[in-house]
Amino acid sequence: MKKEIAFSKMSAAGNDFVLIDNRKKAVAKELKRFARRICDRKDGVGADGMILVEASKKADFKMRIFNRDGSEAEMCGNGARACAQFAYDNRIAGGSMTFQTLAGMIEARVMKDGVSLKMVSPKNIRTGIAIAAHGEKHEFQSVDTGVPHAVLFLSKLDDIDVDKCGCAVRHHKEFSPRGTNVNFARVIDKHTIEVRTYERGVEAETLACGTGSTASAILAAELKGCASPVNVRVRSGDILTISFKKAGSGQYEDVFLKGPAVETFKGTLSRK
């Protein structure tokens, strides 16, 4: 007998996700395999990730996010914003909400001009990481914004092979055993940067990455003289705004990520 599961397709600055209200355990088995099937762009709905909204005794709900390859992620900035919009649209939570993730408790606010997310405080900033990839040496920086990110600042981004270089750095021994997301950033002015991201778990460049934009903005403030708020132009052409307070060398607090999150369509999944 086939079981029908309702879902919403959400887009957050070009990052797309399949959202399922899983508070009653509509999806309970083989979650990794299920995520791979649903996120497949040829044989499934197609998405960068699958997000399950589950019941929580500590917050309005719990968010679980699975990458396109089936791996479960600790956190996803754009995914969390899409999840907040989904929860608001479906009356799971009000306009201001808190929800659990593997990276910690997240606060979100749904507004007319987008969704604002209070991120976990960045940690483990490292600078001057020399990495050789495809015969070239690069100096990366890294920071954990809920998930690990490496960032390379460049004078232009059009010439970089994001998939090729990103894949090499993502699997580099410097970031083992977890691996890392990889960002290529260009500083435009004190409050504006441009970012392209290779996402771990998607294993390709995506149109946007919330935690990657946050990581790039924080490191641009730490190393390049940028100041809050930092507007991040992502590959989709959308703008993500990162605001923060600098609490000391390598220390940042009250970090917020704001940007668009919209439902593109609804449907039902058939599962035996």
Whole-number Å distance between alpha carbons of 204 and 209: 12
Whole-number Å distance between alpha carbons of 130 and 139: 5
Collect all residues with Cβ–Cβ distance below 8 Å to 197 and sequence separation of at least 6. 162, 166, 181, 182, 183, 184, 205, 206, 208, 209, 212, 213, 234, 235
* Residue 264, token pair as written in the block: 């593109």
- Residues with a catalytic annotation lie at 76, 209
Please list the residues that pair with 98 across neighbouring strands.
Answer: 107
Answer positive or negative: Cα dihedral of 68, 71, 76, 81: positive
CA-to-CA separations, 58 to 62, 108, 178, 244, in angstroms, rounded: 9, 15, 28, 26
